[in-house]
Copies of this chain bind each other. A is one copy, B any other.
Amino acid sequence: MPVWFMRQAGRYMEEYRAVRAKHSILEVCKTPELAAQVTVQPIERFPFDAAIIFADILLPLEPMGLRITFEEGEGPVIHNPIRSRADVDALLLIEGEELRFVAEAVRLARRALDGRVPLIGFAGAPFTLASYAIEGGASRSYVETKSLMYREPVVWHRLLDKLARVVTEYLKNQIRAGAQAVQLFDSWVGCLSPEDYREYVQPHVRLIFDGLKGENVPLIHFGTGTATLLELMREAGGTVIGVDWRVPLDEAKRRLGPAVAIQGNLDPVVLLAPRHEIERRVESVLKQAGDEPGFIFNLGHGILPTTPVENVQAAVELVHKLSQR
């Protein structure tokens, strides 16, 4: 079974921390040489079956008009969050030229990878981007986001439509620059009911996947806490559906059918556990996947910064060893 880990280029690696000691996260993202360098770091060290371009899902929001800073340990802060129709109207419908540093990083990373493993591009999905843009950062309850959705549905749909158009072009540009698959991160969409997902989110996600159909690369559609949204996410699009640890892989497969592959779903906290516990959990995920094809081993969310590298090594090796049987 192929294996890669979300945020596999990250703070848990000393090679990455060495780069970040000299450069902010935005500097790394905006300097193609650095972004390509950290993208390749985990491939040099671990037997991952794919690389994922180093970037941040919020990058498109900046040229659209939002002022974003990343506070160490605090996550992103958006200093002019979106709260009104005027705020949405002011957002620029960028076409990708403003994010050419990402496309260039994709080119450089492809060159550095030299065919060893495929390179995955990615973008944040409209709902998840909107939640940051509206809340002004991370959130627990998404009160402002849902309030805008319920109070101003026209403004909401206009915002998500803009985001969907920007994301589509952004992903196309990554693919044209060499990304051999792309993942859409709808990380926080699991805070919604199925009814809300269908009404407020699904059409915009569908626009993206429909727009990418001609690109002929695998399209991964990922979210967390999506147990009651899976069928609706599949309807929206994607050739691979990514799930977190809350949904057993066999249940995901049973519900989503043979037409899509399933990606997931080890809880990233497991990688902080003792070796025997990691082994037990990796085996359990593989057992849920069974012997059928159509699964990609991943975590259910990004690697935690405090993860010991030797645990990542052990987990990836174990996936290879057990799935070769």
A272 to B147, CA, bound (A): 7
CB of A245 within 8 A of chain B? yes
Whether A150 contacts B270 by the Cβ 8 Å rule is: yes
Whether A143 contacts B228 by the Cβ 8 Å rule is: no
Q: Which residues from chain B contact A142 at a C-beta distance below 8 Å?
A: 269
Q: What is the interface residue range for chain A against chain B?
A: 20 to 34
- Interface of A (DSSP majority class): loop
Contact of A247 among B138, B146, B228, B284 (CB under 8 A): B228
Given A140-B140, A146-B267, A227-B228, check contact A151 B248 (CB 8 Å).
no
Segment touching B, from A20-28, A105-113, A188-196: A188-196
Q: Which of A232-256 contact B (CB under 8 A)?
A: 245-248, 251
CB of A273 within 8 A of chain B? yes
Smallest CB gap from A150: residue in B = B273
Whether A246 contacts B193 by the Cβ 8 Å rule is: yes
Instruction: List 7 interface pairs A-B (beta carbons < 8 Å), by A numbering.
Output: A138-B140, A150-B269, A190-B246, A193-B246, A225-B246, A228-B246, A228-B251
Q: Which A residues contact B (CB, under 8 angstroms)? A: 138, 140-143, 146-147, 150-151, 190, 192-196, 225, 227-228, 245-248, 251, 267, 269-270, 272-274, 277, 284, 304, 306
